[in-house]
Amino acid sequence: MSAGTTLAAELAQAARIVSGVAAGKSLAEQFGDYQSDAQTSRAALIDLTHSTLRRYGRVQAIVRQLSARGRADERVEALLWCALYAIESGRYREHTVVDQAVKACTVLEQWSAKGYVNALLRRFLRERSAIETAVAPDETAMHQHPRWWIDAVRNTYPDRWQACLAAGNSHPPMCLRVNRRRSDVQGYETELARHGMSARRCGNDALLLDRPVPVDRLPGFAAGHVSVQDLGAQRAAHLLAAAPRQRVLDACAGPGGKSAHILELADVALTALDIDPARAARISPGLDRLGLRAEVRVGDAAQSSQWWDGEAFDRILADVPCSASGIARRHPDVKWLRRAQDPTSFAGRQLAIVSELWRLLAPGGRLLYSTCSVFAEENERVVESFVGAAPLARRLALADGQPAQWLPSAEHDGFYYALIEKSA
């Protein structure tokens, strides 16, 4: 806790946010509306909310095991989940968390819940080993994902499903993409070391930091020498392999990371498209920082009549909307907000987008299909369905020799890529 903040206030605010997620609101939406004050630290709130949500089923199972009275008020339930994380995190003294959680009931105007919260948390401290044993058979508690999600990953990746789920509960790595136009990987690695930061090279333009740092601490960030981008996301520009003077479309481009990487690698005429005006508005400032330019348009990739000028593209990146199941550790509310039917629903939208974009691709051109999902319904099945129905479509091997599907790991998030060529 920083000077002026209290854990009680932070637990109360975290409980409001987590209960909002349980009610269907995203973390981004709630943090976008959040106004910082003297009583709460934004960094502490991010830790309390995100880490609690990464424990999805575990904290719920523990509360169910401890509570004899059934579900409490939604904010009280969420307060207990956040307090359990705080206890297990080791960041605070255990009895301090209990005391501050009780005080948080007053902040939440849940005065009658004080005794309940106090008794439940103290019982957890007394009986932790027995409680751990009791919840161990619960797969949702063990793997901290919804049951349908566990089943889907296990069925698709029978040899890797446990590692995939475990990675989805971890803290994400911080990977940098060095801007080739303003620096080089070896030189920037040396510059990091000069500033007391260690990293290792893990891709063509990538450095993986040993410890995450705020972006304003990165040397040369404001001058456009480097960007933060996951290693899995960095595959896109290299697999698309756009050549100088080609017309390139980055569909669903916001906030612009992949567009920037494409432009760093080649002098192309790039159109960056996004359906969301707010996401589209973030593209140009990011490119300006890097010394790059693109034509930014707002429009639906599945409705090209809204924005297309009629001239075909040589390369198209179809980074389609998806379940975000491959980046759930960065957005842990996804595990709460997604439903079992969502991957199939996304697949319908994805196929519609690819089918429309295919019309805009020049003969001999290439379309790179991309998602940040691990669900086969959104990935391999969409590509197989499209290629099977499009006479001129031919799927190509990926130039890096890597599999189409990357599952989340210690180095990168979960991404899927498929390269499709239109016969001339």
Last residue of a domain, one of 166, 199, 228: 228
Using the predicted structure, report yes or no on whether residue 68 has a pLDDT greater than 90. Answer: no
C-alpha distances in Å from residue 150, one per residue of 53, 282, 398, 399: 16, 35, 29, 31
- Please tell me the predicted confidence (pLDDT) of residue 34: 75
- pLDDT tens for 98-130 read 999 999 999 999 999 999 999 999 999 999 999
Q: Two tokens at 6?
A: 């209290």
Question: How many Å apart are CA 219 and CA 207, to the nearest integer?
Answer: 13
Q: Is 410 helix (H, G, I), strand (E, B) or coil?
A: coil
Residue 242 sits in the same domain as residue 218: no
CATH of the domain at 54: 1.10.940.10
Q: Is 406 helix (H, G, I), strand (E, B) or coil?
A: strand
- pLDDT tens for 258-289 read 999 999 999 999 999 999 999 999 999 999 99
- Rounded to the nearest 10 degrees, the angle between the axes of helix 94-107 and helix 74-89 is 160
Residue 215 sits in the same domain as residue 238: no
Nearest to 201 by CA among 215, 212, 185: 185
Residue 223 sits in the same domain as residue 263: no
Residue 211 CB neighbour total at 10 angstroms: 8
Q: Two tokens at 314?
A: 């040589």
As a whole-number percent, the residues of the chain with pLDDT over 70 amount to 97
Name the band, by pLDDT with cuts 50, 70 and 90, for residue 302: very high
- Please tell me the predicted confidence (pLDDT) of residue 40: 80
What residue type is 80 in one-letter code?
L
Residue 45 sits in the same domain as residue 64: yes
Last residue of a domain, one of 121, 144, 167: 144
- Please tell me the predicted confidence (pLDDT) of residue 38: 67
Which of 105, 252, 322, 372 is the catalytic position?
Answer: 372
State which residues form the domain around 186: 175-228
* Residue 155 domain flag: no
Burial track 107-117 (b if 16+ CB lie within 10 A, e otherwise): bbebeebbebb
Residue 129 sits in the same domain as residue 267: no
Residue 390 sits in the same domain as residue 339: yes
Name the band, by pLDDT with cuts 50, 70 and 90, for residue 71: low
- Please state whether the predicted TM-score (pTM) of the whole model is above 0.75: yes
C-alpha distances in Å from residue 13, one per residue of 23, 33, 59, 118: 15, 12, 18, 18
Burial track 235-269 (b if 16+ CB lie within 10 A, e otherwise): bbbbbbebeeebbbbbbbbbbbbbbbbbbbbbebb
Q: Are 60 and 18 in contact (CB under 8 A)?
A: no
Does residue 255 have a cis bond before it (omega within 30 degrees)? yes
The helix (run of H) or strand (run of E) holding residue 271 is strand 269-274
As a whole-number percent, the residues of the chain with pLDDT over 90 amount to 93
- pLDDT tens for 206-251 read 999 999 999 999 999 999 999 999 999 999 999 999 999 999 999 9
Can 164 be counted among the known catalytic residues?
A: no
Question: How many Å apart are CA 408 and CA 153, to the nearest integer?
Answer: 12
Q: Are 18 and 78 in contact (CB under 8 A)?
A: yes
* Residue 387 domain flag: yes
Residue 291 sits in the same domain as residue 335: yes
Q: Are 275 and 251 in contact (CB under 8 A)?
A: no
Question: How many Å apart are CA 399 and CA 390, to the nearest integer?
Answer: 23
- Kindly report the CA angle at 176 between 275 and 276, in degrees rounded to 5? 10
What one-character-per-residue DSSP string does 104-117 give?
Answer: HHHHTT-GGGHHHH
Nearest to 385 by CA among 343, 355, 407, 424: 355
CATH of the domain at 376: 3.40.50.150
Residue 367 sits in the same domain as residue 348: yes
CATH of the domain at 214: 3.30.70.1170
Sign of the alpha-carbon torsion through 359, 387, 235, 318: positive
Residue 280 sits in the same domain as residue 414: yes
Residue 257 sits in the same domain as residue 327: yes
Q: Are 38 and 5 in contact (CB under 8 A)?
A: yes
- Please tell me the predicted confidence (pLDDT) of residue 4: 44
- pLDDT tens for 351-405 read 999 999 999 999 999 999 999 999 999 999 999 999 999 999 999 999 999 999 9
Q: Two tokens at 5?
A: 């903040």
Question: What is the total count of domains within the chain?
Answer: 3
* Residue 151 domain flag: no
